[in-house]
């Protein structure tokens, strides 16, 4: 039996009401994992703990006792701590994670876990047009396919309501601050973050093996459990620091064994601190199953198949494509949430054991911690990540060439900082100079082009009918970020925040941050380094 499994309602973990009696004095420790509840630390910094009863749909109470604004003092007092997000908002969770990395005590060790609503998350120095099919990302996933009902129950910052029959809910397209490749998050994916000192004891495999040990123990302890079936024979950490699983396709001896990726890793290293975060694909309804044929082919594959890839020559970091597979097969949403809770609790327990600590506080955080009047630094980080300037204009330089079919007109341009530069047009008919095309495209932000027809003159369209259709396919209309989608400021007025001016580089990418640090990502690596 795994210690620390969180009790919750049968359908939604958010309906559980936490009621915990904690010690009257701060020096009297009570293990939250021993009793199966996260400690609600509203008064830790005031020298006493008290009884708290609070719905788990909210974060730690804002105000003097809120932990995150005092994270340096808290992690000094508790050098080993665990944070668990109740939010499914990817912007909020990534901003909280970044805040924990930057503001926690340099010698502290933190485990942070969260589950995001369905979204596509790509690396700090990646190209979103190259990494995914943006049109399909914007089409989204059907309500039932993505288990949006469970997501809606946790949402506080975005109104997720059931659409009309047959409609889908769009996915978020998110650029994170760490390196690595593009991943898809959904309700069958548990995200984990380890934030530790960047010293001689840190290795990129250390915490990945911790996760492997959790999976191995769970496989043994829950073999034959009703509603949850392990799909792996063995798990290990590969040379790219990813967790891969071996699946036997046939039970008889000598059956073919295939290896699939079940967890990807990315890293961010700062002066004195290291972040290793990863995904754990436990039971996604969108990952497909290898034994069910084309009809059940992975939704992930469709979302990550870029139509523009044959036409781009790009710098930056490209994802290494690997076949993925769920670690477990579940009978339905109830079993999926139970499995996620069990794995999350096992991660916490194993994290304690790794560092030989007990009575480690587990703090719940969430959407309220991202409000302007609670924590402005986290709020500002959320605002920046939601801008189109951050999502698209941070893309490393790339070149496009429309070598499409048998068309006689070849359009070429470079995109630098998200802006079209040096467009060129080769015409079979020399009378078509394309001067208007070139003049109109020069200096335009690629993601802001909503209709390619307006940039192609009538005579040119008649000469090469396919070019506008091709451009609309490879560079589809982007649903631009709107101010009303962002969090309200303290006075209820939407605060506009433009992205910091960051110049993506080429083989080595550098930027000057507000703190004067330099952030570097080496080509082909899955790590961002701040010096």
For residue 408, the model assigns a pLDDT of: 62
Q: Which 8-state DSSP code applies to residue 298?
A: -
CA 291 distance to own-chain centroid: 28
The per-residue pLDDT for 148 is: 65
Residue carrying the six token digits 């959904």: 186
Residues 6+ positions from 105 with CB-CB distance below 8 Å: 72, 75, 76, 79
According to the model, what pLDDT value does residue 286 have?
Answer: 86
Token pair in block for residue 81: 């701590």
Question: In this structure, how many other beta carbons lie within 10 angstroms of the beta carbon of residue 297?
Answer: 13
List the domains of the chain with CATH numbers.
13-387 (3.30.930.10), 398-474 (3.30.390), 495-530 (no CATH)
C-alpha separations of 221 from 210, 262, 509 in Å: 17, 20, 46
pLDDT, one tens digit for every residue, the chain (531 residues): 333 333 333 333 322 222 232 333 333 333 333 323 333 333 333 332 222 222 222 333 333 348 999 999 999 999 999 999 999 999 999 999 999 999 999 999 999 999 999 999 999 999 999 999 999 999 988 866 667 666 766 665 455 666 666 678 889 999 999 888 899 999 999 999 999 999 988 988 899 999 999 999 998 887 767 889 999 989 999 888 899 998 765 555 555 678 899 998 989 998 899 999 999 999 998 886 444 444 445 688 889 999 999 999 887 677 777 888 999 999 988 899 999 999 999 999 999 999 998 889 999 999 999 999 999 999 999 999 999 999 999 999 999 998 755 456 688 999 999 999 999 887 655 555 567 778 889 999 999 999 888 777 655 555 555 788 889 999 999 988 754 454 444 433 333 333 333 333 333 233 333 333 323 333 335 666 665
Looking at residue 522, what is its pLDDT?
A: 33
- Cβ atoms of residues 352 and 214 within 8 Å: no
CA atoms within 13 A on the CB side of 11: 8
Phi, psi of 358 (to 5 degrees): -135, 170
> What are residue 367's phi and psi, to 5 degrees?
-60, -35
């Amino acid at each position: 039996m795994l210690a620390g499994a969180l009790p919750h309602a049968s359908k939604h973990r958010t309906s559980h009401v936490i009621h915990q009696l904690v010690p009257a004095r701060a020096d009297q420790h009570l293990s939250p994992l021993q009793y199966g509840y996260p400690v609600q630390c509203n008064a830790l910094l005031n020298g006493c703990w008290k009884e708290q009863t609070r719905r788990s749909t909210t974060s730690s109470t804002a105000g003097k006792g809120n932990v995150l604004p005092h994270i340096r003092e808290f992690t000094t007092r508790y050098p080993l701590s665990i944070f668990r997000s109740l939010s499914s908002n990817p912007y909020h969770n990534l901003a909280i994670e970044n805040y924990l990395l930057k503001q926690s005590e340099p010698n502290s060790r933190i485990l942070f876990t969260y589950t995001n609503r369905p979204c596509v998350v790509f690396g700090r120095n990646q190209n979103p047009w190259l990494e995914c099919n943006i049109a399909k990302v914007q089409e989204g996933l059907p309500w039932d396919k993505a288990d949006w009902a469970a997501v809606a129950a946790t949402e506080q910052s975005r109104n997720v309501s059931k659409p009309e029959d047959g409609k889908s809910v769009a996915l978020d397209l998110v650029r994170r601050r760490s390196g690595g490749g593009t991943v898809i998050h959904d309700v069958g994916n548990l995200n984990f973050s380890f934030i530790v000192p960047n010293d001689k004891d840190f290795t990129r495999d250390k915490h990945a093996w911790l996760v492997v040990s959790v999976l191995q123990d769970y496989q043994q302890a829950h073999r034959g459990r009703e509603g949850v079936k392990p799909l792996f024979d063995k798990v290990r950490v590969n040379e790219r620091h990813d967790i891969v699983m071996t699946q036997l396709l046939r039970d008889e001896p000598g059956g073919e064994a295939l290896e699939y990726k079940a967890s990807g890793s990315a890293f961010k290293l700062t002066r004195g601190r290291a972040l290793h975060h990863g995904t754990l694909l436990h039971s996604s309804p969108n990952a497909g199953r290898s034994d069910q044929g084309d009809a059940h082919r992975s939704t992930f594959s469709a979302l990550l198949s870029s139509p523009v890839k044959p036409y781009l020559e790009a710098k930056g970091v490209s994802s290494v494509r690997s076949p993925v597979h769920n670690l477990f097969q579940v009978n339905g949403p109830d079993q999926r949430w139970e499995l996620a809770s069990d794995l999350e609790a096992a991660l916490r327990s194993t994290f304690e054991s790794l560092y030989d600590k007990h009575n480690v506080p587990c703090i719940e955080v969430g959407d309220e911690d991202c409000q302007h009047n609670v924590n402005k630094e986290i709020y500002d980080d959320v605002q920046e990540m939601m801008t189109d300037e951050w999502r698209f204009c941070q893309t490393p330089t790339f070149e496009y060439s429309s070598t499409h079919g048998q068309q006689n007109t070849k359009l070429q341009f470079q995109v630098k900082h998200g802006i079209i530069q040096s467009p060129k047009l080769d015409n079979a008919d020399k009378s078509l100079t394309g001067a208007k095309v070139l003049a109109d495209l020069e200096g335009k932000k690629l993601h802001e082009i909503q209709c390619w027809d307006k940039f192609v003159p009538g005579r040119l369209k008649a000469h090469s009918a396919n070019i506008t259709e091709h451009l609309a396919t490879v560079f589809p209309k982007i649903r631009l970020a709107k101010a009303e989608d962002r969090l309200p400021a303290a006075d209820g007025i939407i605060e506009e925040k433009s992205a910091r001016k960051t110049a993506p580089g080429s083989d080595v990418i550098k930027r000057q941050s507000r703190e004067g640090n330099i952030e570097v990502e080496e080509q082909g690596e899955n790590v961002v380094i701040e010096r």
